[in-house]
Homo-oligomer: A and B are copies of this chain.
Amino acid sequence: MINVGIVGSTGYGGCELVRFLSTHPNVNIEWVSSRTYSDQEYSDVYKSYFTLLDQKCVDEDIEKYLDHVDVVFFATPQGVCAKMVNENVLKKVKVIDLSADYRIKDVETYESWYGIKHASPEFIQEAVYGLCEINREDVKKARLVANPGCYPTCSILSIYPLAKAGLIDMDTLIIDAKSGTSGAGRGAKVQNLYCEVNESIKAYGVASHRHTPEIEEQLGYASSSKVLLNFTPHLIPMNRGILITAYAKLKEGVSEEEVKKAYDIYKDEYFVRVLKEGNVPEVRNVKCSNFVDVAYKVDPRTHRVIMMGAMDNLVKGAAGQAIQNMNIMFGLDEKTGLMLAPAVL
């Protein structure tokens, strides 16, 4: 049994972690912590867990609770994990951070986009960017995993094959993203009320969203180049799911056949499904599952390729991928506890 602790367990990401971990065959949830609800029953915060998780939330003075756990998940706001991680912690437990603290290798980029001082930059290089399909080997040996952002996971996995194969002009890359509202978190804000989100759509963070440098860095590694792109997220009236639609010019002379072949890179991946020709990713086809559905369409009129990806932001975009990382770190089959068929309805 892997004993786990979950910091920030009462946000939406934390809630989804609890959901998957509570039925994971190799896991025991040792404790859940919460700043806001400490000392309250978890099943009073989320009544769906009534009879299922009979624990009180502990406070966030985490070091007190490390002795009986093997791994700690941080589903916390930016900056929290960076403050809590130190050599002592990493000697005791493995850490999987669902926040952005260790995702970006260049600390100045992090500090300028996130507007906070990084509290433990000395661990950034050691941290492994936990996009399992790409960095699986490094994850195996990691003490500290930076679980990728939701938009970056879906964007990178959709674009990676063509970036890696050098088939697209990276200067022309545009990512138009759409996300369900759980991505906005559980904070009590007027803008996230039912009546403010329902029957509407809007872009937000236009030309300024924090996931931009994360995507740029990873696609930069893939394409061995410095990448600057436009990334525009939109808020959609649904609970879960992300769809990304990306556009780029194919390099001169690149054929549809080459594009097709590049996506074969995923042929042994369980969680990335390259759709059959003529199909497009739909959020409902991956909902509540750890799958990412990707597809592409070459437009001969404009010699652009449209790359599409759909994913559940709370699963492969957060809790599911975190568990996939845990499975890899502890030598389990990476699909353990994640073998759910999508809830199409």
Contact = CB atoms under 8 A, between A and B. Distances in A.
Interface of A: 12, 15-16, 18-19, 22-23, 46-52, 172, 174, 176, 178, 180-182, 186, 188-190, 192-204, 206-207, 228-230, 232, 234, 236-241, 243, 245, 247, 270, 273, 275-276, 279-289, 293, 297-299, 301-302, 304, 306, 308, 310, 314, 339-345
11 contacts: A48-B289, A48-B341, A50-B279, A182-B345, A186-B193, A194-B237, A199-B239, A202-B243, A203-B308, A228-B301, A232-B245
A47 B275 CA distance: 9
Contacts of A182: 195, 345
A247 B304 CA distance: 14
A47 B199 contact: no
Contacts of A341: 18-19, 22-23, 48-49, 52
Contacts of A204: 280
Contacts of A189: 188
Contacts of A281: 202-203
A305 to B, nearest CB: 9
B193 A47 contact: no
A230 B306 contact: yes
Q: How many copies does the complex hold?
A: 4
A281 B207 CA distance: 15
B345 A240 contact: yes
Contact of A47 (B48, B241, B285, B314): B285
B280 A202 contact: yes
B247 A199 contact: no
A176 B232 CA distance: 10
B198 A239 contact: yes
Nearest to A198: B239
Nearest to A240: B345
A206 B186 CA distance: 26
Contacts of A275: 47, 50
B200 A193 contact: no
B199 A283 contact: yes
Contacts of A16: 345
A147 to B, nearest CB: 18
A195 B193 CA distance: 8
Contact of A299 (B188, B203, B207, B279): B207
A199 B48 contact: no
Contacts of A297: 206-207
A190 B186 contact: yes
Contacts of A19: 341-344
B237 A345 contact: no
